[in-house]
Chains A and B, each alone.
Chain A
Amino acid sequence: MRLVLEPRAERSVAAAIASPLIAVGLTLLVMSVLFALLGKNPLNALAVYFLHPLTDSYSLQETAVKATPLVMIAIGLSLCYLANVWNIGAEGQFVIGAIAGSYIAVKTQGTDAGAWVLPAMLLLGAVAGALYALLPAIGKVRFGASEILTSLMLVYVADLLLDYLVRGPWRDPHGYNFPTTAEFDPVAIVPTLIEGSRLHIGALIALLVVAIAWTVLGRTIKGFEIRVVGAAPKAARFAGFNSDHLVLLTFAVSGALAGLAGIIEVAGPVGHLQPGFSPGYGFTAIIVAFLGRLNPIGILIAGLFLALTFIGGEQAQISLKVPLDLTKVFQGILLFFVLACDSLILYRIRVLTSRRATDGTA
């Protein structure tokens, strides 16, 4: 007896929607076992992780705050992945965007610069993110260098540049030698939506990005080109679509979105530039993109869900005394199951007895 994969004749919509839900369910099952192994009551632990954050308004807002960068980055990444190119260095583009935007905030600090500061910061952050993402893209289309490895290497470089700046030239002179810039001036801060909350207009920008991506992918020729180049490269060549241009375009757009998310994060919830300001949003966004099945609406939902795990993870660390790394384990397992379940949309598993197997090959 053996198991074989058999391509499905047609893909059902129901399976496409059910697959991420099944993946989440299976992940929760594995997490329950993990909690039990750590000596915690699984039901109680899952409640702390996924339900408690939904019960108070502070945590709900915080979920939206954390979902903002995840959704923005994941939308950009989904364009790359749809075109079948692999930008996995969004974390670096996120950091570079934050650095570039912060440049204006640091240089205008204490001057009576006007309302132009924040828009200029956001613009510079997006441009820097796009340029940083274009490095691996150009390496790929001009020289054929693997974009996977170069984009990932640039993450380390960006982190080191950030470290250099906040320990050196940009360090807050009154910061007791802590590696951080001074708190940004009010004109360099992303305004909040509600007085006294941390929810900021970045959340609206993220929703806008989702809407634009949905329109572009579903309603424009460019969106169609991206999907054809990814799904059927030969057909794309016959149709005259330039795949090199699309590699550059998708990388530039995803870099711009990651960079924009980076400067919004620094000028919003964080308020100053410091090393480690990102808890790995650029990597978690990869999971968000796949869990959302590379669909803008799906990504929005997936982004909120993974933001929840960050908050749940922090709360579980405090109230259950479980390590924060458990959140990463959860995210990794989730991605495994999402990918596995996606495969079951394309194939069905058939059990073959040995006799039928021989019949099949005959």
Chain B
Amino acid sequence: MGLLEAIILSVIAASTPLLLAASGELLVERAGVLNLGVEGMMIMGAACGFAAAYLTESTLLGTLAGILAGMLMAAAFAALTLGLAVNQVATGLALTIFGLGLSGLIGAGFVGQKITPAPELFIPVLTDLPFIGRILFGQDAFVYASIVLVAGIWWFLYSTRPGLVLRAIGDNHGSAHALGYPVLWLRTLAVLFGGACAGLAGAYLSLAYTPFFIAGMTAGRGWIALALVVFASWRPGRLAAGAYLFGAVTILQLHAQGAGLGIPPQLMSSLPYLATIIVLVIISRVRGAAGSAAPASLGLAFVPDR
């Protein structure tokens, strides 16, 4: 396997959890809800997914457990922010703190255990093709799922009626409510979907990417996924591009560390975070002139007048 092929494969692997989690959050934010708890839902997906996969010896059941864990976390978020109109920023933070703690508690017994990593696709002739074979036809199911997911969200938002309603709710919940759309119910569904995606992203980390569990293994990926949504101006196409760009930065800094250029490894490790900050500033600056692309009702509590 050539170096370039290896790099592309590892970029795809590093980008997939970001794309999975960010796709879900994009839909949530398009509905006007800002869930900052992605990191917490993701690490819970990683812990519960690994625990279930270890106990049942099934990657599929592990994945489902990860998705379910993310959804349960999201349900708590929905109950507070949508049911009780609690501040979304603070609740998202609480979700992350809670998730980091509970995942450590659940995963404690599984640290150091091994599972069989999620299998990779193998199609006799196609996967054997030079260079593109492994890249296009030799990935695990998560990678294909992430691409289907982001394409599906793009189709849903721009080509279906429920997608249009969802965007309307995110842009002006008052008007949407006046037109008779069930704002809080649709938002609840969106939040649960976002939780499922974050849980799936976490399950990918512990079932395919590593595959093992350690406390705090998401290492800020949930936060980077949130930044990607802003980077993408809340558009699915740009989100995919951003996720792969970001995966590339992550992998390139790893290779640069390995190459021993005399640069402190900590500086290289901080590149993804610094890149996020710089990109956020530049994107916000550029967009400042053209007006914000954020859904107008993003992060605002909605209490319907009966």
Contact = CB atoms under 8 A, between A and B. Distances in A.
Interface in B74-105: 76, 80, 83-87, 89-91, 93-95, 97-102, 104-105
Interface of A: 3-5, 7, 86, 88, 135, 139, 143-146, 148-150, 152-154, 156-157, 160-161, 163-164, 167-168, 283, 286-287, 290, 323, 325-333, 335-336, 339-340, 342-344, 346-347, 352, 357, 360-361
The 3 closest A-B pairs by CB, nearest first: A332-B98, A328-B101, A325-B104
B268 to A, nearest CB: 9
A153 B276 CA distance: 8
Contacts of A360: 306
B280 A326 contact: no
A157 B273 contact: yes
Contacts of B283: 145
A326 B106 CA distance: 10
Interface stretch (B112-120, B152-160, B284-292): B284-292
Contact of B306 (A329, A346, A352): A352
Given A145-B281, A340-B86, A357-B306, A332 B273 contact: no
Interface centre among B285, B288, B306 (most CB of A within 10 A): B306
Contacts of B91: 336, 339
A4 B306 contact: yes
A336 B87 CA distance: 11
B220 interface: yes
6 contacts: A146-B227, A154-B273, A332-B99, A336-B94, A339-B86, A343-B85
Taking chain A's interface residues, is the majority helix, strand, or loop, or is none over half, making it mixed? helix
Contacts of A156: 220, 270, 273
B292 A323 contact: no
A164 B264 contact: yes
Interface of B: 36, 40, 76, 80, 83-87, 89-91, 93-95, 97-102, 104-105, 108, 215, 220, 223, 226-227, 230, 264, 266-267, 269-270, 273-274, 276-277, 280-285, 287-288, 292, 303-304, 306
A164 B220 CA distance: 19
Contact of B94 (A143, A161, A332): A332
Contacts of B94: 287, 332, 335-336, 339
Contacts of B304: 4
B223 A157 contact: no
B287 A153 contact: no
B281 A139 contact: yes
Contacts of B277: 135, 139, 145, 149-150, 153-154
B101 A149 contact: no
Given A150-B280, A325-B104, A332-B102, A161 B266 contact: yes
B288 A143 contact: yes
Contacts of B89: 86, 148
A167 B83 CA distance: 48
A328 B97 contact: yes
A148 B273 contact: no
Given A150-B281, A326-B101, A347-B303, A336 B80 contact: yes
A149 B287 CA distance: 17
Contacts of A7: 303
A329 B105 contact: yes
B101 A325 contact: yes
B269 to A, nearest CB: 6
Nearest to A283: B97
A346 B283 CA distance: 37
B136 to A, nearest CB: 33
B84 A149 contact: no
B280 to A, nearest CB: 4
Interface centre among B83, B93, B220, B292 (most CB of A within 10 A): B93
Contacts of A340: 80, 84, 86
A122 B276 CA distance: 31
B284 A145 contact: yes
Given A323-B104, A333-B98, A335-B97, A5 B86 contact: no
Contact of A339 (B87, B274, B282, B288): B87
B280 A332 contact: no
Contacts of A326: 101, 105
Nearest to A169: B264
A328 B104 contact: yes
B288 A331 contact: no
B132 to A, nearest CB: 35
B90 A329 contact: no
A19 to B, nearest CB: 12
Contacts of B40: 332
Contacts of A346: 85
A153 B223 CA distance: 8
Interface centre among B83, B104, B274, B281 (most CB of A within 10 A): B281
Nearest to A360: B306
Given A286-B93, A329-B105, 10 more contacts: A86-B89, A139-B280, A149-B276, A153-B276, A160-B269, A161-B266, A286-B97, A326-B101, A340-B86, A343-B85
Nearest to A153: B273
B85 to A, nearest CB: 6
B76 A143 contact: no
A139 B267 CA distance: 21
Contacts of A352: 306
A227 B267 CA distance: 39
A336 B76 contact: yes
A144 B284 contact: yes
B280 A145 contact: yes
Contacts of B83: 3
Interface centre among B80, B97, B100, B223 (most CB of A within 10 A): B97
B193 to A, nearest CB: 21
Nearest to B34: A148
Given A153-B223, A164-B264, A339-B91, A143 B97 contact: no
